[in-house]
Amino acid sequence: MATSLVRQTKLLSIVSSQLNPAACFRNIHCTAACLKNRAARIREGKGDKSVTYEQAYHPHHIGHRKGWLSQHTSNLQGEDGAAERVVEDVFIRRFMYGTFHGCLADEVVIKRRGNLLVICAVMIQKLLPSKFYFLIGYTEELLSHFYKCPVKIEMQTVEEKVVYKYL
């Protein structure tokens, strides 16, 4: 089926070029779309969906009305390791989401200062403080051993998820 599609595309391009020789080549887009205009945006709904500040503002507001969720220096000129940092960040976010299940009030902010990895999280006061401390000790120890660098968690708690608006 793929080969027939390619042949059809070639046919189509030949036909179109012959029809309009001044026009540039336009082929059929057969890879997955990037959807840059739908990423990280919650669409407006009936008005019953609560969103936090982070979720309410769209990616083009980063740097203007939002801050960065992940802070490291690999994106500077001459620095490398950006891809590894991204993969680490994804792992850390999933880890936090699973370990503190149902407790996260907002996205986790990850900061790197030298060797130190600081995970800043806002939690809902769903568990007892002793249970929070158990999970904090567990996370810090496990992630330090996994990434071979000191990992610290800075946690703040709120009584319930802070709603910015309803969409």
Partner 1 sequence: MASSCSQALRHHVCKSSRILRIHLQKSWPKEIVIPKKKTWSKEAVLQALASTVKRDPTASDSRFQDDPYLTPKTSSEFKLFSLSQESGRNAAKYFINTYPKYFQKDYAQPHIPCLMPETLEAQIEEASEAALIERIRMRKVKAAVDLYDQLLQAGTSVSLDVTNQLLDLICFCGDHDPTQENVPEQRNEETEDVQDEPQAKKGRASKASGLLKATWKENNNAGRIFALLSEPNTHSYSALIRGMVKYGAYSKAFSTYTDLLNNRLKADVHTFNALIIAAPEVKEKYNEKWELIVDLLKQMAEQKVKPNLLTLNAVLKALRRCGTLGKSQAFPVISEMKALSIETHNHAFPIMLCSAGAPIQGQTDILQEVMNEVSGKSFTAQDPDDAQFFITAMRICLDTKDMEQAYRVHELLGVGENWRLLGNDFQQSIYYARFFSLLCMMENIDVMLKWYRDLVPSVYYPSSNVMRDLLQALDTDNRLDLIPQIWKDIKQLGHANRQNLVEELLTLMAREKHNQEVQESFAECALDIKKIYDTGDRGKVLLSWTAGSLIDLISVLLAAHRRQDAWEMLKLFKTHNRVPSEELLNKFLTCVKEAGEVNQAVELVQISAGFCLPETPKLIQRVQQEFELTEQQRNMLSDLEIQTFNSD
How far does CA 100 lie from the centroid of its chain?
18
Tokens 């891809």 found at: 83
Least distance from partner 1 to the Cβ atom of residue 129, Å: 5
Q: What is the DSSP string of 56-93?
A: HS-GGGBTTTB--SEE-STTSTT---HHHHHHHHHHHH
Instruction: Tell me which of 51, 157, 162, 167 binds partner 1, using CB under 8 A.
Output: 157
Nearest CA to 165 out of 68, 18, 47 is that of: 47
Residue 145 touching partner 1 (CB under 8 A): yes
Residue 91 touching partner 1 (CB under 8 A): no
Instruction: Tell me which of 103, 104, 110, 135 binds partner 1, using CB under 8 A.
Output: 135
| Phi, psi angles (nearest 5°) of residue 138 | -65, -50
Residue 58 or 111: which CB sits closer to partner 1? Answer: 111
Nearest CA to 69 out of 81, 57, 80, 51 is that of: 57
Residue 133 touching partner 1 (CB under 8 A): yes
Residue 154 touching partner 1 (CB under 8 A): yes
Least distance from partner 1 to the Cβ atom of residue 139, Å: 8
Q: Residues in the site for partner 1, rule: CB under 8 A?
A: 125, 129-142, 144-149, 153-157
